[in-house]
Structure 1
Amino acid sequence: MSNRVRRDKEDGRKGWAMVFVVVSLFCIIFFAARGRFQAPVSSQAVSLVLSPFQQATDWVANEIRYVTSVVWEVSTLYEQNKMLRNEVEQLRGINLQANEALAENERLRTMIGYQHSARQFDLVAARVIGRESETWSSMIVIDRGTLNGIQNDMPVVTPQGLVGRVVEAGPNSSKVQLILDPRSSVGTIVQRAESRVTGIVQGDMDNPTMPQMVNIPKNADVVEGDVIVTSGFGGIYPKGIIVGLVSSLKNDDGGLLKIGVLESAVDFQKLEDVMVITASREAPPEPIKPPVQTPGTETDPVTGERIADQKAEGQK
């Protein structure tokens, strides 16, 4: 019984399918024949029947076109974005190189200006290529050596001030002991004309970034803000190179002397380029200007005699 009911349902479905096919063919034939004969009623019927299909077809076509355009735009934007990212990376690299070149150019311009102003020195420019970071030692390595005329104990400077001295000169590179090294010793003097107090500048293990000026008498005329320069004593460092400023003063352990803590003129954390003094000459003295003489009391600059007396002697 169940099989018979099932077959009846299947036959009913097949019948409805045949009816749908026949109606569809009928509609298609009439739709194709609309241009051959006049059949207003049939044409309206065909249009009425096919209208839902046409709307569905148009909607599907519009959606396909929309999706296609969106996919194309997304693909185009992706490619453009990729190209723009590459251009941004290239421009960023060019910008970094330009900034580095600008900074290097500024440093070299400053060094060249110092070479022109410090004519009493023969200078060899060098670049810092290494650094020793031990707390008890402050050393840098430069890219100049004996092949460039560098020798041990030659002073090393920048336009800002004193850096240190060469302690180990190799053929193509050299080690430089900074004034921050506790083992260093630089003879110095207070630049202020009213003071001219001398002392020794050396590194401080407890404060590696700020050297100290020691052996200052307790009652010496040294105050905060004084400029400290090399004294020329010892034969290594020429006289007059700035070392730093007195940041603070304190008494030593014995209480008989005081110590000046210095803010170094050179920023050793940013040290990239230096100059080695290969020869030093004393700066030529300024020409002596004769004092203004009172009328009637002028003297001959050669003989030293009064001009008025010379004239009187000539008249006799």
Structure 2
Amino acid sequence: MSSRVRKSRNPHRRLWVLLIVLVSIFCVIFFAARGRFQVPVTSRAVLLVLSPFQQAVSWAGDQVSGLTRNIWDIVTVYEQNKMLRNEVGQLRVQNLEASEALAENERLRALIGYKQTMTQFDLVAARVIGRESATWSRMIVINRGRKDGVDADMAVVTEKGLVGHVVEAGWNTSKVQLILDPRSSVGTIVQRAESRVAGIVQGDLDNPMMPQMVNIPKNADVVEGDVIVTSGFGGIYPKGIVVGLVSSLQNDSGGLLKVGLLEPAVDFQKLEDVMVITVSREAPPEPIRPPVQTPGTETDPAAQAAEAKAAAADEGGQP
């Protein structure tokens, strides 16, 4: 039944399709030849009849042209957007590289300024290339070794203060023990002229980022805010290198001594570049000399020697 209905409808559909094709061909031929001759008055009726078809064709052409322009604009915008995103990515990378280079330049400039100031030291610049995971706040690795003149027991500093000392020197790398390590021991002294109290700075297990100054007498003149520098005792750390500031003071467990908690001069969380002191030409301490004494007193060695000599002569002259 359905096949018969389809067959009965097919002739009408074919007829309409043929009519549309013929009208289209006529329109194309008519509009193509329109400008070549003048249309007689009698053909105005034909123009009136074909006007809707002309408008439809013009509208369809405009739509196709507009769609083509839109598609082309979309493609162009997409390509431009892609290029701009690539340029933005490249500019971001360049900006990051420039910022990193600027920060490194500032750090190296500070190190160079310190090197020019501390003429009594021979300094080798080094970069921190690693930290031991088990002792992150106690040990670092630098990219300088024996081939650069670095050896064990050499002090390591920055322009701000003391970092630690080399405990193991390889050919081109070295391990540095930080002053935050509880195994570290730094002879120090209060920089204030009225105090000059000596003590030892070592790391604290309970507070890994803040070392402590121990062996301070209970009545010693040490107050919060005092600057602590190396004393030069021990042979590893030269005298006068800043270690940190006294943050707080408390009595030790025995009650006979005080312990000072220090805020390090160096920010160990941001430690990237350091310098190794390979040679120190600081002047040795002056020898201890007895004070000048008045001749003829008992504490004058020359007077004592003369008196002893005179007494011996008197004894020898007696019968």
What is the aligned partner in structure 1 of residue 231 from structure 2?
231
Deviations 1:125-170 (A, max 9, x none): 1111111132596111111111111111111111100000111111
What is the aligned partner in structure 1 of residue 63 from structure 2?
63
Shift of 1:64: 0.6
What is the aligned partner in structure 1 of residue 256 from structure 2?
256
Shift of 1:39: 3.9
Partners of 2:57 and 2:39 lie apart in 1 by: 26
Runs of 4+ in 1 over 6 A off after TM superposition: 32-35
Shift of 1:255: 1.5
- Residues 181 and 204 of structure 1 are in contact (CA less than 8 Å); yes or no, is this contact kept in structure 2? yes
What is the aligned partner in structure 1 of residue 158 from structure 2?
158
Bigger shift: residues 87-96 or 21-30 = 21-30
What is the aligned partner in structure 1 of residue 103 from structure 2?
103
- Residues 137 and 209 of structure 2 are in contact (CA less than 8 Å); yes or no, is this contact kept in structure 1? no
Structure 2: 5+ residue stretches without partners: 286-319
What is the aligned partner in structure 2 of residue 297 from structure 1?
none
Shift of 1:12: 9.1
Count matched residues.
282
Letter of the 1:246 counterpart: V
C-alpha spacing 1:23/1:104, structure 2 compared with 1 (3 Å):
closer
TM alignment of 1:62-101, pairs within 5 A: 62-101=62-101
Q: Secondary structure at the match of 2:246?
A: strand
Deviations 1:108-138 (A, max 9, x none): 1111111111011111111111111325961
Shift of 1:177: 0.4
Partners of 1:59 and 1:48 lie apart in 2 by: 17
C-alpha spacing 1:174/1:16, structure 2 compared with 1 (3 Å):
closer
What is the aligned partner in structure 1 of residue 184 from structure 2?
184
Partners of 1:37 and 1:132 lie apart in 2 by: 98
- Residues 154 and 166 of structure 2 are in contact (CA less than 8 Å); yes or no, is this contact kept in structure 1? yes
Shift of 1:281: 1.6
TM alignment of 1:199-214, pairs within 5 A: 199-214=199-214
C-alpha spacing 1:163/1:44, structure 2 compared with 1 (3 Å):
same
Q: Secondary structure at the match of 1:205?
A: coil
Q: Secondary structure at the match of 1:262?
A: strand
Partners of 2:26 and 2:180 lie apart in 1 by: 103
Partners of 1:30 and 1:236 lie apart in 2 by: 106
Q: Secondary structure at the match of 2:192?
A: coil
Bigger shift: residues 93-102 or 175-184 = 93-102
Shift of 1:74: 0.9
Partners of 1:204 and 1:173 lie apart in 2 by: 27
What is the aligned partner in structure 1 of residue 246 from structure 2?
246
What is the aligned partner in structure 2 of residue 265 from structure 1?
265
Letter of the 2:263 counterpart: E
Partners of 1:237 and 1:115 lie apart in 2 by: 16
Bigger shift: residues 144-153 or 20-29 = 20-29
C-alpha spacing 1:163/1:37, structure 2 compared with 1 (3 Å):
closer
What is the aligned partner in structure 2 of residue 134 from structure 1?
134
Q: Secondary structure at the match of 1:282?
A: coil
Q: Secondary structure at the match of 1:253?
A: coil
- Residues 137 and 208 of structure 2 are in contact (CA less than 8 Å); yes or no, is this contact kept in structure 1? no
C-alpha spacing 1:56/1:135, structure 2 compared with 1 (3 Å):
same
TM-score by length of 2: 0.79
Structure 1: 5+ residue stretches without partners: 286-316
Shift of 1:65: 0.6
TM-score by length of 1: 0.80
- Residues 181 and 202 of structure 1 are in contact (CA less than 8 Å); yes or no, is this contact kept in structure 2? yes
- Residues 136 and 181 of structure 1 are in contact (CA less than 8 Å); yes or no, is this contact kept in structure 2? no
C-alpha spacing 1:29/1:39, structure 2 compared with 1 (3 Å):
farther
Over the aligned positions, Cα root-mean-square deviation in angstroms equals 3.3
Shift of 1:43: 2.1
What is the aligned partner in structure 1 of residue 194 from structure 2?
194
- Residues 187 and 201 of structure 2 are in contact (CA less than 8 Å); yes or no, is this contact kept in structure 1? yes
Letter of the 2:96 counterpart: L
